[in-house]
Structure 1
């Protein structure tokens, strides 16, 4: 918070005068009744304007036009009938542009009634001045400060800030700001991966010639080859622009704290496995956080799109990538992922400076980038003097940056601790809870199968327990890998010169200084490197046909280090390079012949040398020919390369031809690679050699942008080296169908099916099936609406691990109950807290290395029956119009994958091979919905969930029948009556004490007296009967009487008081998970609860909230919890 307000005050104080400019982006929903919609009362901007359906699908602008000055959305012809409801995203102009201005206030001008030349008033204006923060700026958001105290918890301070500011500070200076600050970011269900203060600040001041960005900013450079980067940082960036008659100078300077590090990984997809696929950090540690939005995922060199209905999705918390149903994965798909992961070993600081000088013919740029760890400001690793000396002696050798992890620590019940014992001449660590022993906190690191001395023995709530099994008989060792602080500096000069209209000369030179260990001076001679590039582009002639040439030469020293990759994403594969460790010389010459009729042919010759161990020549021929009905694309290359030990020939070609008819199309595709790598010494063919041939054919009918059907088939043969020659290792056949069979105002049907069969020579054959069907229909003038989505795919199910950590009381979700009274926090002893003062634990999901191959079926169905259109009818139709029915079904099941078997039935939820399941059926029937006149609701809910984790398999089943009645009579009395019957069954494979089958019957009448529209007094009674049909056969009879007072005064004050008396007649063991579920956190016998809530609006922007909770039982003391909160709204 200090940082937030410091930056805000510092930057706002630059200027004084204030006017209003609002640049808010709005979302509004409209019911479409005709072809014209009035969006706003004032003119709107064309920036960011989009129109979506009520399913959040963007509508093609071809379907409408917009009159921005009159704020009108106009659908073309009859196309508005396609949409029942639309959502419009638009940007409003600033208020200072749209409001009316007057030199004088007309309200206080008095008409001239005499011949006097001047009118005087002897009274002063007594109008009350209302003071509002940030007057003159358009503000939106709130600031909240609060404190919670109680006799069962320590004082906890709560604070949140969510503030947006926009407006003119002067005629030339504009301010934009967004500040968010909350205590603790958590995921749904109280799960989180990592605890950090959620603090986001962005402030921007700008004019026509300069700008200042402060806080959390996005720093990038895509203008150069050697200083290309995209980073999320926290700091300050200043940009200025100086223009003269014939030149322009741009200057940028930035200083910031860096959040993450860049990583690139490559791997092949697995046959029929959509994921998830795990990413890692520089040390191959999978326990990482991916910075949101920094990833780029490539498949066979092509950049993919993120999104549920696009190519892939990513879980940034667990660093897992999952590919969508419509992007089938196979072993032939090469995946490359670039991303930035959170690195908090040290505080990392960066500076970035850029100067650009531009004239009509000449552009010169200079860049300087510095990124270094502050070696004396380590964050997640607290280095001792001995560890710093170890790093100093290690130099650039990361294998020597390893140290013992054990250190002596006091006993704590929230830590897993070990004692030292002797076995022969060795000292080993053994888990211990004896606080009289000398105890150690030990971190164990995975070192590889049978390369360590310890194994994972057990998993409890607060972490993992390891056990010594003998030298090189385990997978873990009590060590940690130290991270050395490093520094990277880059200086880049770039120039572009156009001496003639048809000529462009480019040059770029970069110097790097990369020190991977700031604690050590060893190996510093290899820190510095250079890279340079020269290019010449020439338009040789320009007539009916154009001929262009492009010459490039590039040199990259082997010691040169860039922030991100320099070359194309698959550069190494294209050149048969395993590791690029030498100095690089790359020469290329390109000739391109093209005309205005979309006919292009391109020839490129490239020569690459890597120090003295690699030489290669590559010829590339690419082309595109397009006519009215025909399109042909082809790419081909031939590489001949030689190293000290091998020579190779790599031939590739790709050809795609498509012919379009009036309402159909068809085409073929050829793709082939032949990479023969021969050992020079004995003339044997290397195992890295490969060859494949792929043929694809497809045809379609209809309009590919509207209603269409396309089918296709792919056939591929793959060869590898066996007995020193190419031999077939597998063949694959893929058949697919994709279509949009119905595309109208009231209905839409899309289908995608992809079946793949792989026949392997040396392994078992494999089959995979991906499909997705989406059907939406409105019938009988929206009387019946339903939406169906069915999809099936293969993937893996991660066996999640999780642990619990202690946090501030009231800010967690779970409570610990020591059921067996052994003082150890075990996984089956944590419950969802029923009261906030007991909620002091959060559950942390840990990434896993255990995945189970699965086949997944997912089915979603919504049905709505809405006869309200018959409201004006008579008789039976009039009666039916009072009803409304809504049904929702979700089935998401993952079964263990079996060879050559696809269970396509999503309703098979009792299959023994089912590993994961989320089943939910919810049906609601309404009568007089929302009218409070004999308003009745019947709800049926059925759910079933199955979860497979490392330590347990659990299954929960729930079934609920619930009837709700509400009726208001005499304008003052409101009667509510609820009755429900439910069953709840839980089965745990390893924790049998958590198994129960509860039957529950509930009766709840309530009578309220309204003495104003929002003020009322209620009295209610609740009767519950619960019975456990398993284990201890526990029973509970609950009777509850309560009173509620809700008083609202002139919309400024709200007072709510509630008092409850509960009597629990419980039979069974009190200290058990079953008892906690049945008693809902209360105790047997008499229980009392009371609460007090007071909300008051102090002025136009300040609200006061006071909240008090109390409870008492026969066997426990009175618990008091109080909170006071002040909230400022802007």
Structure 2
């Protein structure tokens, strides 16, 4: 299979290349139009929503009226503009009907209307009727019992409501509870939550009440910023405060809720590696190593720019593991800056959030007030068990979290199948140490939670075992220095309280002139158990300013004045709720804000003129005083001018800051300077744009006493040349090349250190209606000018890219889809444990093969029987990453005969039209092999096993003949999969290959014959679980005869013969196991259309087995049964009770050859349709 798959792919690729020369069909229409106050009708057809674009003036906005089919612009313009759009194949405002409504008027008699004869209106089945409210969804409740399991219940709810409760009040509700213990994947731009409950009531007067899962967002404010996912209620009012005064709009919001998480803003620059796209883990703000990020709460900034989430955009995120992976759209380097704002799960205490805001306009005046309070309930911890001694310790800790360490040893007594320890003394160099040792027997009575504190700071280390859980062992200190990284203590989070109130006002002298002021009061208590360190809990801040915007400039048509001046003062003890400044505000002052509390005084002044983004002149001056950290100024200049085909854009930044830093453990005065310049000159032509970009970014920190440079945040010079075609073209492409030099402080001076060359190419083309291609390629080289050794990681090339291709061939009979992406990333070592769940809701079963009563990892198997599905396999992340080259390959092809062939009456076209096929091929690889062929060819089979860190390869192919013909036909299925995972203990890999052929034929009107033959090969290997190494080859056949005398009854009898053998000789047993299985079965199906469906079956399984029992091989060969005679039977009854109620009863039973009694399992489920 591996030998001819590349040939097939190469053939399809040649076909694809040959079709690129086909004549292109334009799907986007473009017109030059002049301004018209009444509007412009661009086309006789309706425009596609969102497709309207203004190419040569991007700042100009336009709106489209779907009723009049006209476009209106937001402002007049002198020259013609190029407008591009897409159209629908019809005009929405034109009347289209199959039957004229006039034929349904009052004057027409019922029996004379041919359309209404014999028509009946089907009433939708529902449990209760709600006129005026549209609803959909279902409510399910289930119960399960069995003689080998405990009673369990399950439930699921999905309900949507929308409509009018009264004439004035409408309702909108979404209630979803699927019992899903994880969050959605963060690989799309839009997130669909699994569990969400909210009900919203709207009054036509402008009020709105939302209850359930809501989001609290701040109103416009300088200081109070927050975005909270909560569970509670939000009441909003929009009204006119003074009915006699039109300009007196008011808006009031009040909300109270329980918080789902906590806000954090984290830099991950220290994790970033040159050319490595990820994944990168988000730590907690208090040093938490493993957190859960709330879905859709994150904002990711790269070099100050907000990124978009999604596989087709900039990054993807794993919310459950808090890991971000960047796509090929962005390039990660050692100089990249990544900051992430997010909410993470932090439910140590019940946290109540109270918000309120009021905004009031009265003529030229605006007043507003905001309030926010977040309080942890110290008397109601969640998931924490605090003793009186723990509370007393927290009361003495004050605001220092490092003092809140308590013992994590819990004396619980002996409990089966748990990781427990015993306390014992050990002597090292004559010194007695009380230690905890893992004890799987009855001597283990202590349950301990270990905390990682870093290398040489703890006395315990992680032990590699096959136990179902993490096991730690004590390691003796050397010369008094601890040799472990873990300690049997835990850091107890303290309950906190945060509060802020803001008040402000603004006055508009004219439409262009505005003065404003805002005052803020904050309060933060880091430990509600303690009164210590409370003197710095409260703080204040204010900001006043004047703004001018929109006044016409006396020179230059279309230019307007811009002016803004403000003064801000933050008290030393003022602390915001969430970050309220720009992402790189403090970085631009060359400081890292620490925990020291000092007053902050900021002055800003800005003046300029602006016509649009391509024509403007803006100057800004800032001055700041913040203790010994900042005493300096900034100047910014932004110039853009369009002269004919030439576009010039320049941005300048200059900063000087005198501060005091620790140099050689001595406070020393230093001067921080920053010079930043970016200039771009482009020539715009009808065929495209060619241009040059120059960037300069030089920051240095100089000790005044010695005039030596000791640090730099960024210091580089870059030249870039670029070429791209016109935006209006249907085939869009661009190429650019960058040359960059980076400097580092060496021996007190800035010296050139690195040279990098980066080339980018992009292509987005739709050649015709059948071919679409997307391409992104990046090639980057790094040359370390100071260290040219071959083993230097910085002297390396980095290649990454992505190809997306969709194509139709042979009159759309063949459809092909290809996605291939390659980059450099990291592979995470993982651990896994098995956790017991409600019977029937798991995936694995535990069998005590060695009879010691202890759960080992090699004793868990994928469960075959429903009642044995008692465990789930949970992967737990670690901090161990390995750099790897990544490949993602996804190819799908569907083949069906052209429509004209299927209409043929005879000949080869009619015969060939009976065939159809589909194939999917997915490869995801992480490897360390630097060979070019192995890196970039996803189906390479030359990779050594030790170089392949992880892989997931799946090939599925199906060939059908007469697929839709009920009389006869056949289907051939092929599947091949290969999986390999990197674990802390080693590797775990599984290879599977399967072939299956099914023939079917109707024997008269009531009999149907189906014969299935299959060949399978399963190769499982592990380098740390030796009993999981086996290679099972199986062959089986299954004839099946069905008798259906009427549409309601169907009888099926079948026979199955399977032969399986293990070809891998175990070192422990030195045997080759084999099994022969004969299965006889009878199935009865009775279906009363729309009301009842019953399926009953009974099977007798005879197994002849040779080999050792109670191991992984025997479980797979015997299919969870025993040698000899086995029985299985089941009943599935589905009954419609009427009025939207459905009842499902399921009974399963089995008896193995060695079991004295049968095993019975029953489930009942009732579903109500809304």
TM-score of the aligned structures, taking structure 2 as reference length: 0.84
Compute the displacement of 1:1018 (Å): 0.9
Q: Deviations over 1:81-127 (max 9, x none)?
A: 9x9xx9x99xxxxxxxx99999999999xxxxxxxxxxxxxxxxxx9
Task: Identify the residue that residue 1129 of structure 1 maps to in structure 2.
Answer: 1169
Where do residues 281-300 of structure 1 align in structure 2 (5 Å cutoff)? 281-300=284-303
Matches within 5 A, 1:415-430: 415-423=418-426, 424-430=431-437
In structure 1, what is the equivalent of residue 37 of structure 2? none
Residue 299 of structure 1, CA deviation: 0.5
Cα distance in 2 for residues equivalent to 1:673 and 1:642: 19
Pick aligned residue for 2:967 from 933, 943, 952? 933
Q: CA deviation at 1:696?
A: 1.0
Displacement of 1:188 in angstroms is 11
- Please list the CA deviations of residues 926-977 of structure 1 after superposition, one character each: whole Å capped at 9, or x if unmatched: 1011322221111122222222211121222222111011223433222211
Measure the CA separation in 2 of the matches of 1:570 and 1:99.
66
Q: Does the aligned pair in 2 maintain the 1:460–1:803 contact within 8 Å?
A: no
User: Is 1:753–2:787 an aligned residue pair?
Assistant: no
Quote the residue 1:1097 is aligned against.
1136
Partner of 2:653: helix, strand, or coil? strand
Partner of 2:188: none
Choose from 548, 568, 590 the match for 1:554: 568
Contact 1:286 1:847 in 2 (8 A): no
Structure 1 610/801 Cα, relative in aligned 2: closer, same or farther at 3 Å? same
Distance 1:356 1:786 in 2: 56
1:459-470 equivalences in 2 (<5 Å): 459-470=465-476
Does the CA contact (< 8 Å) of 2:127 and 2:1140 recur in 1? no
Question: Residues 968-1018 of structure 1: CA distance to partner in whole angstroms, max 9, x if unpaired?
Answer: 343322221111111111121111211111111111111112233353111
Q: Distance in 2 between matches of 1:955 and 1:620?
A: 58
> Corresponding residue for 1:766?
796
State the match for 2:226 in structure 1: 229
Residue 1023 of structure 2 is aligned to residue 989 of structure 1: yes
Displacement of 1:328: 2.0
Whole-Å separation in 2 of the counterparts to 1:1051 and 1:69: 44
855, 860, 864: which is aligned to 1:825? 855
What secondary structure, in the 3-state scheme, does the structure 2 residue paired with 1:878 have? helix
Q: 1:31 — aligned with what?
A: none
How well do the aligned residues superpose, as a CA RMSD in angstroms?
3.2
2:133 counterpart residue number: 137
Q: Post-superposition shift, 1:1100?
A: 2.8
Q: 1:973 to 1:628 in 2, by over 3 A?
A: farther
> What is the aligned partner in structure 2 of residue 122 from structure 1?
none
- Equivalences, count: 1035
Contact map agreement 2:359 2:367 (CA 8 A) in 1: yes
**Aligned partner of residue 500 in structure 1, secondary structure:** coil
Q: Distance in 1 between matches of 2:1020 and 2:613?
A: 69
Aligned equivalent of 1:1081: 1120
> Could you say which residue in structure 1 is the equivalent of 2:359?
356
Does residue 579 of structure 2 align to residue 565 of structure 1?
A: yes
From 616, 620, 628, the counterpart of 1:600: 616
Whether the 8 Å contact between 1:853 and 1:897 is mirrored in structure 2 is no
1:158-191 per-residue CA deviation (whole Å, 9 max, x = no partner) reads: 11111111110011100111111233435899xx
Q: Note closer, same or farther for the CA distance 1:650–1:62 as it changes in structure 2 (3 Å cut).
A: closer
Q: Residue 567 of structure 1: CA displacement?
A: 1.1
TM-aligned CA distance change 1:79 to 1:976, over 3 Å? farther
> 2: CA distance between counterparts of 1:699 and 1:585?
45
- The Cα shift of 1:129 comes to 13
Report 1:687-1086 matches (<5 A): 687-688=711-712, 690-701=714-725, 703=727, 706-760=730-784, 761-762=786-787, 763-764=792-793, 765-869=795-899, 870-873=901-904, 874-896=906-928, 898=930, 903-912=935-944, 913-1013=947-1047, 1015-1031=1049-1065, 1032-1086=1071-1125
Deviation string for 1:560-601 (max 9, x for gaps)?
A: 121211211011110011225422111011001123694111
Structure 1 unaligned regions, length at least 5: 1-34, 36-56, 90-97, 109-126, 190-196
Residue 265 (str. 1) matches residue 266 (str. 2): yes
1:317-716 to 2 correspondence within 5 Å?
317-423=320-426, 424-436=431-443, 439-471=445-477, 472-539=482-549, 542-543=553-554, 544=557, 545-580=559-594, 581=596, 582-595=598-611, 598-627=614-643, 629-644=645-660, 645-688=669-712, 690-701=714-725, 703=727, 706-716=730-740
Instruction: Give yes or no for contact 1:185–1:198 (8 Å, CA) kept in 2.
Output: no
Return closer, same or farther for 1:744/1:860 CA change in 2, 3 Å cut-off.
same
Structure 1 residues 105, 822: closer, same or farther in 2, change over 3 A? farther
Q: What CA distance in whole angstroms lies between the structure 2 residues aligned with 1:395 and 1:77?
A: 64
CA distance in 2, matches of 1:965, 1:390: 75
Instruction: Please state how far the C-alpha of 1:611 moved relative to its aligned partner.
Output: 2.7
Which whole-Å CA distance do the structure 1 matches of 2:990 and 2:1136 have between them? 45
Query: For the residues of structure 2 that align with 1:547 and 1:68, how far apart are their CA atoms?
Result: 36
Judging changes above 3 Å, is the alpha-carbon distance between structure 1 residues 359 and 989 closer, same or farther for their aligned structure 2 residues?
A: same
Task: Tell me the TM-score normalised to structure 1 length.
Answer: 0.87
**CA spacing shift, 1:409–1:58, aligned 2, 3 Å:** farther
Q: Is the 8 A contact 1:756 1:769 kept in 2?
A: yes
Partner of 2:143: 147
CA contact under 8 A between 2:184 and 2:295: conserved in structure 1?
no
Give the gaps of 5 or more residues in structure 2: 1-26, 28-47, 55-62, 70-82, 93-100, 112-122, 186-192, 661-668, 1066-1070
Q: How far, CA to CA, are the matches of 2:541 and 2:104 in structure 1?
A: 60
Question: After the TM superposition, which of the residue ranges 197-206 and 349-358 deviates more from structure 2?
Answer: 197-206
Alpha-carbon spacing, 1:434–1:862, altered in 2? closer, same or farther (3 Å): closer
Answer with 813-822 or 542-551: which moved more.
542-551
Q: Contact 1:690–1:721 at 8 Å: present in 2 too?
A: no
Structure 1, 217-226 or 1016-1025: larger mean CA deviation? 217-226
Kindly state the Cα deviation for residue 706 of structure 1 after the two structures are TM-superposed: 2.2
Match of 1:8 in 2: none
Secondary structure in structure 2 of the residue aligned to 1:551: strand
Deviations 1:675-715 (A, max 9, x none): 12112343322134642101111112465652133221111
Taking a change above 3 Å as real, the CA distance of residues 375 and 596 of structure 1, as seen in their structure-2 partners, is closer
8 Å contact kept, 1:261–1:340: yes
Q: Deviations over 1:762-799 (max 9, x none)?
A: 34412110011222221120122222222211101111
- How far is the alpha carbon of 1:361 from its aligned partner? 1.1
1:789–1:501 distance in 2 versus 1, CA, 3 Å: closer
Deviates more, 1:179-188 or 1:99-108: 99-108
1:1063–1:62 distance in 2 versus 1, CA, 3 Å: farther
Distance 1:502 1:740, change over 3 A: closer
Shift of 1:827: 1.6
Secondary structure of 1:685's counterpart equals strand
8 Å contact kept, 1:658–1:666:
yes
